Amino acid sequence: MFDALSERLTSVLDRLRGKGTLTEADVSAALREIRIALLEADVHYQVAKELIASIRERAVGAEVLESLTPGQHVVKIVRDALSEAMGSERSQLALERRPSVVLLVGLQGSGKTTTAAKLAASLAKEGKKPVLAACDIHRPAAADQLETLGEALDVPVIARVDETAAGIAAAAVDWAKEKGRDVVLVDTAGRLQIDEEMMSEVGEISAAVEPDETLLVVDAMTGQEAVGVASAFDERIGLTGIVLAKLDGDARGGAALSIRHVTGKPVVYVGTGERVDRLEAFHPGRMADRILGMGDVLSLIEQAEEQIDQAKAEELVERIRKDRFTLQDFLEQIEEMQKLGPVSQILERLPGAAKLKAKPDDGVDEEEMRRTLAILRSMTLKERLNPSIIGGSRKKRIARGSGTKVRDVNRVLSRFEDAKRALKLVGGRRGKGKLPADLLGNV
């Protein structure tokens, strides 16, 4: 979502890095461009004004201008200012009571129901036992949607046990107490815009369950409008945090940079896709690094540790050492990589991501990845375990089964051989142990 902003800021700061000395005029010119970039990214005008003032105050001092690396100093100042605007440190939920109650509020279409399920999945991974309360009694099939998500996660859903939303929420809390559940996640109704009826209902739910956390779910693509929505909800019911949904969408980044600075409420989580495992803790410093093209390798490592099966990885290392890497292993490793999300999202977390994306021939093609998977899955297990038997007739059958051409099958086989040679080299050099970090990259 920060592509345009990241490219603009990276370009401006690269020019500063390239200068041997900096003058106050150089800094002022750069700040003018940064201000324009922030406003074009739909950052709240007051936030942009205060950010520029903060950066200017720190960047024109003698310590910076007379430094041996003044450009690097300014980059760090900009990075710190962005991080501070978004909250500096990660904010965590206060879930000390049992059961704790998390109330999710927001406008219709903001992603509350999906976020409730994502949060349930995230808390379950932390060892908690959540329960979902379907308190949207106005949107057709809202309860059905939550029940379907809950069933997939093996998380119980309390729905239709009362005619009022507050009654359902209270019943969910009572059920959680009886069953020894840790957290009650309350999904509420929304409207296309803030109105008295919605606020009254949310207020009644809040009074009935006395939530430990009241999280506003906002669509990151709404930009500055998200700030006004957050202020209205906070004034009426009192928010404790923000969840930015659809952060992977075609947004300009204004909400993420503005909402904490204006409302004083921390962004706790961000949603980056439709899947229930696509909810991330919000780290302001890491997000600032991503905006400035410095990447977010820490989050990528954490995600990999969580998603990738380490036992399978260690088994793969052993197979590589013994030169027994097959197309079945090749398929499984691509599937493991897919758990981390689209390649484009992985690239976003790497240093210099903006420059990588700017290259016309960067080799990152989601369609090519899907085509490769289709070809591999069209093979029989015998063929994947023994690729040498794949002759002309088998290639034609595989191509037909995958909806591709024989040349595409040949390309996949050629890439497999390249990967096999590279992995054998890495495996022989590293020996036993955990899967090397560069192994998956070569696959």
Total of domains in the chain: 3
Mean pLDDT of the chain: 81
Is the residue at 216 inside a domain? yes
Q: Are residues 345 and 256 in the same domain?
A: no
102-112 tens-digit pLDDT: 999 998 888 89
Q: Is 302 part of a structural domain of the chain?
A: no
Residue 75 sits in the same domain as residue 152 = no
Close Cβ partners of 29 (under 8 Å, ≥ 6 residues apart): none
User: Does residue 286 sit in the same domain as residue 314?
Assistant: no
**β-bridge partners, 312:** none
Q: What percentage of the chain reaches a pLDDT higher than 70?
A: 78
State whether 58 and 127 are in the same domain. no
Q: Is residue 301 part of a domain?
A: no
Residues 231 and 328 in one domain: no
Could you read off the pLDDT of 46-80 as tens digits, one per residue? 889 999 999 988 888 766 766 667 777 888 888 88
H helices present in 190-224, as ranges:
196-209
Per-residue model confidence (pLDDT) at position 309: 60
Residue listed under structure tokens 């700030």 = 227
Residues 246, 356, single domain; the answer is no
| Residues 13 and 126 grouped into a single domain | no
Mean pLDDT over 119-139 rounds to: 93
Q: For position 232, what pLDDT does the model report?
A: 87
Give the pairing of strands 100-105 and 213-219: parallel
Going by pLDDT thresholds of 50, 70 and 90, the confidence category of residue 434 is very low
Give the mean pLDDT of 230-238: 88
For 293-352, the DSSP string reads: T---HHHHHHHHHHHS-HHHHHHHHHHHHTT---HHHHHHHHHHHHTT--HHHHHHTSTT
Are residues 135 and 282 located together in one domain of the fold? Answer: yes
**Strand, coil or helix: 277:** coil
User: In this structure, is residue 299 part of a structural domain?
Assistant: no
Single out the residue of 184, 284, 301, 191 nearest to residue 244, CA to CA. Answer: 284
Q: Count CB neighbours of 67 within 10 A.
A: 15
What does the pLDDT read at residue 359? 45
Task: Tell me whether residue 208 is in a domain.
Answer: yes
All residues at 6 or more sequence positions from 225 whose CB lies less than 8 Å from its CB, including other chains? none
| Average pLDDT of span 278-284 | 87
What's the rounded mean pLDDT across residues 211-220? 92
Domain range for 225: 100-294
Residue 69 and residue 114 in one domain = no
Residues 211 and 351 in one domain: no
CATH number of the domain to which 186 belongs: 3.40.50.300
pLDDT of residue 156: 96
The pTM of this model reads 0.67
Residues 106 and 193: beta-carbon distance below 8 Å: no
Query: Domain check: are 246 and 384 in the same one?
Result: no
Q: Which of 40, 60, 85 is the last residue of a domain?
A: 85
Q: What is the CATH number of the domain that holds 43?
A: 1.20.120.140
Same domain as 129, residue 239: yes
Residue 226 confidence (pLDDT): 81
For residues 187 and 113, is the Cβ–Cβ distance under 8 A? yes
